């Protein structure tokens, strides 16, 4: 069990550029979640998938954000036309869903800095 | 109604002491209440979790107390150690595996 992995771990970009993050969940976990965490705050929910279906999206997820999980395994989160307010830690978590009654395991996160 | 309120924001405890962090919620549909520990630059790590059908759960030095009628739950860390110094988050979810709603976090510092 290698845990949830995220790449890259750090990303520095200029305002207006597009960025893409990848999350590899724990194998056999059918649910995958994205959260955003700013300094001094708790993680905020963005979206989650069950297998390849995107089941819920937060209103925090503006139309500049898109997430995919094409084959029900890894997931990508893309931010288009980045803004300085997008600077945050982006966290991915996975779980067995209802079978595990909610236990989510988090990855190390991708820290994004928009200049 | 979706909020989880956590207090205190920061806590300083002497080594060997008891650390207590409190959380309150409004949504009675929440059915799962985990606590996460987070070190700087790392992702949150699950510490302990409880469901509303029990009033207390203990794992080692960590205990969750749950008061369903008051819609409150708390984390007790017994015999606190300097290695426990971290930020602690309470959270809640519903529908057995939905999104987690996190509290604002408590930065714990255990002094030697």
Nearest residue on chain B to A47, judged by CA atoms? B99
Nearest residue on chain B to A33, judged by CA atoms? B99
The mean pLDDT value for B9-27 works out to: 97
Q: Assess whether pLDDT exceeds 90 at residue B19.
A: yes
Say yes or no for a CB contact (<8 Å) between A100 and B97.
yes
**B44 → closest Cβ in A96, A98, A106:** A106
Confidence of residue A102 (pLDDT cuts 50, 70, 90): low
Question: How does pLDDT run across B45-99, given as a tens digit for each residue?
Answer: 999 999 888 999 999 999 999 999 999 999 999 999 999 999 999 999 987 668 9
Say yes or no for a CB contact (<8 Å) between B45 and A106.
yes
Q: Which long-range contacts (CB under 8 A, 24 or more apart) does A60-67 make?
A: A60/A36, A67/A34
Burial letters B2-41, b for 16+ CB under 10 A, else e: eebebeeeebebeeeeebebbbbbeeeebbbbbbbbbeee
Answer whether B64's CB lies under 8 Å from B35's CB. yes
Instruction: Determine contact: A49 vs chain B, CB below 8 A.
Output: no
């Amino acid at each position: 069990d290698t845990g949830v992995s995220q790449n890259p771990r750090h990303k520095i970009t200029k305002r207006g550029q597009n960025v893409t993050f990848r999350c590899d969940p724990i194998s056999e976990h059918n649910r995958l979640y994205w959260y955003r965490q700013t300094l001094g705050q708790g993680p905020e929910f963005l979206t989650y998938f069950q297998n390849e279906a995107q089941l819920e999206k937060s209103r925090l997820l503006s139309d500049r954000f898109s997430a995919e999980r094409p084959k029900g395994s890894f997931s990508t989160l893309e931010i288009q036309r980045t803004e300085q307010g997008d600077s945050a830690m982006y966290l991915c978590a996975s779980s067995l869903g209802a079978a595990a009654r909610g236990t989510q395991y988090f990855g190390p996160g991708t820290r994004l800095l928009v200049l | 109604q979706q909020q989880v309120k956590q207090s205190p924001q920061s806590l300083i405890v002497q080594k060997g002491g008891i650390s207590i962090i409190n959380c309150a919620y409004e949504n009675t549909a929440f059915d799962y209440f985990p606590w996460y520990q987070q070190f700087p630059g790392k992702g949150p790590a699950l510490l302990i979790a409880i469901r509303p059908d029990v009033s207390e759960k203990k794992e080692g030095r960590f205990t969750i107390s749950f008061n369903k009628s008051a819609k409150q739950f708390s984390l007790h860390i017994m015999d606190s150690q300097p290695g426990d110094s971290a930020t602690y988050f309470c959270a809640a979810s519903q529908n057995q595996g939905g999104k987690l709603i996190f509290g604002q976090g408590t930065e714990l510092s255990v002094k030697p």
